[in-house]
Structure 1
Amino acid sequence: MFAMSITQKLSTLRLPPLPTIGEIIKLYKLKAEKQLSQNFLLDLRLTDKIVRRAGNLKDAYVCEVGPGPGGITRSLINAGVADLLVVEKDTRFIPGLMMLNEASMGKVRIVHGDILTYKMDRAFPGHLKKQWEDDVPNVHIIGNLPFNVSTPLIIKWLEHVANRSGPFVYGRTQMTLTFQKEVAERMTASTGGRQRSRLSIMCQYLCNVKNCFTIPGSAFVPKPEVDVGVVQFTPLIQPQIEQPFKLVEKVVRSVFQFRGKYCHHGVANLFPEEHRLKLTEKLLMLADVDPTRRPYELSMSHFRDLCNVYRQLCDQDPNLFSYNFREELRLKKLHRISHKTS
């Protein structure tokens, strides 16, 4: 009898229905801020599709970046995640996220902060950590990123991948994120492709990168001028270039500085003026790179060899890596200005 009464009581309990995103927007009078590159995704069929693309998230531990009014948040709750950490910079969205937390019986942990500075290495329980060589951990990063932070944020996370720090202390944490369609195409562009860029090399030397699908701009409120690509990153067990991240970044940035010119123009900017010609020729020769190739024509193995030889040259001259071509130009400009005014 006692057992039956408990059963009857439990049968009357129901989770409160989650409010629609439109209802949350109206309730809290939310409006996307253009200067913050905010665009709301209200269609739950699309937010569900993003979440499905991340894999089976039942009992997973997820960090959602920039949840805004909570479209993807709601889809993540419905996917049965074990723990959902949301990091939101804009205080206007916090009350709506708190409502979603209450409706999901406390599954949502809300952090009011900037994802660019938030430290994720202690965000989840230590027992989730896996060795780098193991399967991917049950930890995910998901988000509809504002356009103005998407590129610096992915570069920051790629550096964490290289150093196995931040969200990657748990292992090869997967990321499923949105970018402008053109940026998504750059990240996945192959050698010789029209969109091949610095971002292509930086993403692909560390991760398996998949351009999953495109969401039309008309699906967002307000409608952006571009379509949006959903991209998934899975860190590689072995990076394609085994050099420090900052060194790889410097070489790749220099090479792509003159994307439409022969690659030797960009390579030359790695070296001080007094040794530029000699060291440029030496680097290209030892790396076996044709100086008349365009940057987008260089394969990953070309960049690997360029980085390896540049590292050798830096080991021979410890001051070489600190050389900054742009700083040299800035100082020359200041010198000319001061010379004219004196």
Structure 2
Amino acid sequence: MSVDNLPPLREVISKHGLGALKALGQNFLLDLNLTGRIARAAGPLEGYEVIEVGPGPGGLTRALLAEGATRVIAIERDRRCLPALQEISAAYPGRLTIIEGDALETDMASLVKGPARIVANLPYNIATPLLVRWLQTEPWPPYYASLTLMFQKEVAERIVAPPGGKAYGRLGVLAQWRSKPRMLFDVNRSAFTPPPAVTSTVVELIPRAEPLAPADPATLERVVAAAFGQRRKMLRSSLKSLLPDPIAIIEEAGINPTQRAEELSVEEFCALARAYVASR
């Protein structure tokens, strides 16, 4: 038995027949020391509601509650996991709300009533779309005080990458524009059941009170996607998917048309987005 008087996770998985489903991107974390470390990394949790996506059998859920979260809102698409989560709810009366549904289709802002944090061992197949959605939240600053999320290490490196390298791209621009991201620690593949093919990394993103520079979120994403869609080409060529002749908006933004996407700062991408809007 564990400190919360709930059985070990392996017993929970066996009892409820919870084999991880590849189609749902599931890799269960069974090490309660590790889930506790993730929960503490997201802290302090006292006084905060916590949104968790893809709790599975509830290892991280238990840690978030044990570390003092006022309430955990667990969004789970796999109904097989609901009985295991309901057992946790019974152990923490009134502090766990279970939402059966697709996180990509859930209005998360409407689920919280006070200060919130988002903490999750994200299913790999929805991790990037979810992050982009959280970064495009309106109004800004957002309803959450922090994001503490697990990604494949390669994705984590893209989130924090500075301009000039191969890892720098669309995800890094969007993340760094509205937040301050940093990699916290790696998680070995052996910590999961089943073990994924890659190392994972926990990333913290703290929302900026104000974005690095003014830009419309949807327009910025469109400009960045176009620029990195053909990242080996100069901007005068890669941005032709936006405009037949993009030279004018590139020069209006004060950028050399012969530069490539990976050479631009976040602020320069914002200038491009503003110039694109002004040209229409």
Instruction: Kindly state the Cα deviation for residue 116 of structure 1 after the two structures are TM-superposed.
Output: 0.9
SS at match of 2:130: helix
2:191 aligned with 1:219: yes
Return the letter of the residue paired with 1:270: L
**1:148 maps to which of 114, 118, 125:** 125
Summarize the alignment of residues 2-151 of structure 1 with structure 2, pairs less than 5 Å apart: 17-125=5-113, 128=114, 138-151=115-128
CA contact (8 A) 2:216 2:273 kept: no
Aligned equivalents of 2:217 and 2:69: distance in 1?
33
- Aligned equivalent of 1:196: 168
Aligned equivalents of 1:66 and 1:190: distance in 2?
30
Instruction: Kindly state the Cα deviation for residue 141 of structure 1 after the two structures are TM-superposed.
Output: 0.8
Aligned equivalents of 2:133 and 2:173: distance in 1?
15
Return the letter of the residue paired with 1:312: A
- Give the number of aligned pairs: 278
**2:266 maps to which of 290, 294, 300:** 300
**1:246 maps to which of 202, 218, 229:** 218
CA contact (8 A) 2:158 2:171 kept: yes
Larger radius of gyration: 1
Aligned equivalents of 1:23 and 1:110: distance in 2?
21
Aligned equivalents of 1:196 and 1:211: distance in 2?
15
- Aligned equivalent of 2:136: 159
SS at match of 1:62: strand
Q: Deviations over 1:256-310 (max 9, x none)?
A: 1111222222122211xxxx23xx2211222221222221111122212211211
TM score, norm. by length of structure 2: 0.94
2:235 aligned with 1:282: no
- Aligned equivalent of 2:231: 259
More strand, by proportion: 2
Return the letter of the residue paired with 1:177: L
Identity in percent: 37
> Which 4+ runs in 1 deviate beyond 6 A?
none
TM score, norm. by length of structure 1: 0.78
Aligned equivalents of 1:300 and 1:59: distance in 2?
34
Aligned equivalents of 1:16 and 1:148: distance in 2?
31
Which runs of 5 or more structure 2 residues have no equivalent in the other structure? none
- Aligned equivalent of 1:9: none
Return the letter of the residue paired with 1:114: D
Q: Deviations over 1:211-233 (max 9, x none)?
A: 11111112111111111111111
Aligned equivalents of 1:111 and 1:152: distance in 2?
19
Instruction: Kindly state the Cα deviation for residue 16 of structure 1 after the two structures are TM-superposed.
Output: 6.7
Which runs of 5 or more structure 1 residues have no equivalent in the other structure? 1-14, 129-137, 315-342
Return the letter of the residue paired with 1:308: R
Higher relative contact order (CA 8 A, sep 6+): 2
Instruction: Kindly state the Cα deviation for residue 173 of structure 1 after the two structures are TM-superposed.
Output: 2.6
Aligned equivalents of 1:291 and 1:48: distance in 2?
49
- Aligned equivalent of 1:186: 158
Return the letter of the residue paired with 1:220: F
Return the letter of the residue paired with 1:225: A
CA-based RMSD of the aligned residues comes to 1.6
Aligned equivalents of 1:263 and 1:281: distance in 2?
8
Query: CA, structure 1 residues 151+222, in 2 after alignment: closer, same or farther (shift >3 Å)?
Result: same
